[in-house]
Amino acid sequence: MKRFALLTLALSVLVACKEDRIATPDPVGLTPENVSFFCQMNVLEHGGPKAQIHLEGQPAPLFFAQVRDAIAYIKSPERDARILITYVSDMSVAEAWNLPGIDNWIDSEEAVFVIDAGVAGGMGAPEIVPFSSQAAAQSFADNFGGRIVPIADIPIETALGPVDPDVKLKVPN
């Protein structure tokens, strides 16, 4: 009887642990219906890398016309729900800056980012540029400046700091 009680308890714990796990959603391809979370503008109408954040309990991801905006959302203390995963455009394989791709997403935790490069994102603010390849990130940094960091090392002020309208930003080809 004691064994049965222990087995029942162990199975109950395993079932409870399994229920706590939520499947990681796959990235969603961009369509003309996708609008940026903060500005509600069409994501595809803006150049540069994009991001999508999947939240627990939400059927669709939040889209961002600029990776900087997604990082601001992630680093902000106020969020709608727990973040399950964030995907960013892989600029290592993008056709061009204005054509970052509709389905070349990478997990932001696996990406490297070029920050402080002085390039304009889709909304005109300084962009945080994601790459799956360290070599591609280095090539970008060699051409435009900046430094390469993982998402955890992006300073909060890089995403949430003010934008100086007098600073001329470059738009990569």
Q: What is the pLDDT of residue 38?
A: 75
* Of 133, 137, 158, 132, the residue nearest 69 (C-alpha): 158
Alpha helices in 44-133 (DSSP H): 67-75
Q: What is the pLDDT of residue 42?
A: 80
Q: How far is residue 69's CA from residue 51's CA, in Å, rounded to a whole number?
A: 8
Domain assignment present for residue 54? The answer is yes
Q: What's the CATH number where 65 sits? A: 3.30.70.2060
Q: What is the pLDDT of residue 9?
A: 46
Q: What is the DSSP letter of 96?
A: B
Report the domain count for the chain: 1
Q: What is the pLDDT of residue 7?
A: 46
CB of 49 closer than 8 Å to CB of 121: yes
Q: What is the pTM of this model?
A: 0.85
Domain assignment present for residue 170? The answer is no
Domain assignment present for residue 166? The answer is no
For the record, the structure tokens of 22 come out as 């939520």
Sign of CA dihedral 62, 31, 33, 90: positive
Q: What is the pLDDT of residue 41?
A: 78
Q: What is the pLDDT of residue 63?
A: 95
Domain interval for residue 108:
2-160
Domain assignment present for residue 26? The answer is yes
Phi and psi, residue 96, nearest 5°: -165, 170
Q: What is the pLDDT of residue 40?
A: 66
For the record, the structure tokens of 117 come out as 């490069």
Domain assignment present for residue 172? The answer is no
Domain assignment present for residue 10? The answer is yes
Q: What is the pLDDT of residue 2?
A: 59
Q: What is the pLDDT of residue 34?
A: 86
From first to last of the 173 residues of the chain, give the pLDDT tens digit.
Answer: 555 444 444 445 444 454 456 789 999 999 988 887 777 678 888 889 999 999 999 999 999 999 999 999 999 888 778 999 999 999 999 999 999 999 999 999 999 999 999 999 988 899 999 999 999 999 999 999 999 999 999 999 999 999 999 999 999 98
Q: What is the pLDDT of residue 19?
A: 47
Domain assignment present for residue 173? The answer is no
Domain assignment present for residue 168? The answer is no
